[in-house]
Structure 1
């Protein structure tokens, strides 16, 4: 995680260095052409980062879908809370098997909620791929046409 944070921190600096180097290299093209090229490369960079971020998010949501990780209180805590009446219902007359069944249902419901959240996250993350990808292809074709001229 620290490497990713450093990458995010230094990425704009690296991008600015490349932009300045490109502008100095292509000074003979004229200011308007240089700005047009820089704009094209910045859009390509931004859309590519969005697509990569969406792909990472989809992968993480798929991992949550396969193996949902949620908070489950221990059976002992659940049993103690249900016996003390903290669960909001009268559980004093329940047998050990009924309490165990209720606890297992609680865990099952929580895993189901986590899976639903993961499905929702996958759908949301697809937006970070489906929306910027056509923009990336359009500007990449524009870049190729600009370099052919």
Structure 2
């Protein structure tokens, strides 16, 4: 038997057998995302959120505003695969000055660019995630 005939015979035998990947769309099977499971992507997003939380806490201490004594970072949640981070802050009334929630929100919106730059510096990513700041009063818990 010639080499070509043996090769086609082997290929025909292999095609006759059923395998696990038979019937799977090759566009999805061989895409970049197929190697990464959903749980691994979630793990990476949560890891980025923890790094961002530490960076935001450090940046708030560093900013030198009287507001920093009145707020604490409760949690940082990734949205859309860590392209956007939802930062939840709790407002305490610790200092002598009384801040209302709208004033705290306004001051934090001015610090948003600074906080985003610090998060980008600590995450070391090509694109910095967008930050959404949510302030809750001390009585509420998420």
TM-score grouping bracket, smaller chain normalisation: under 0.3
User: Normalising by the residue count of structure 1, what TM-score does the alignment of the two structures yield?
Assistant: 0.26
RCO (CA 8 Å, sep 6+): is it higher in 1 or 2?
1
Q: Give the strand-richer structure, 1 or 2.
A: 2
Q: Give the helix-richer structure, 1 or 2.
A: 1
User: Normalising by the residue count of structure 2, what TM-score does the alignment of the two structures yield?
Assistant: 0.27
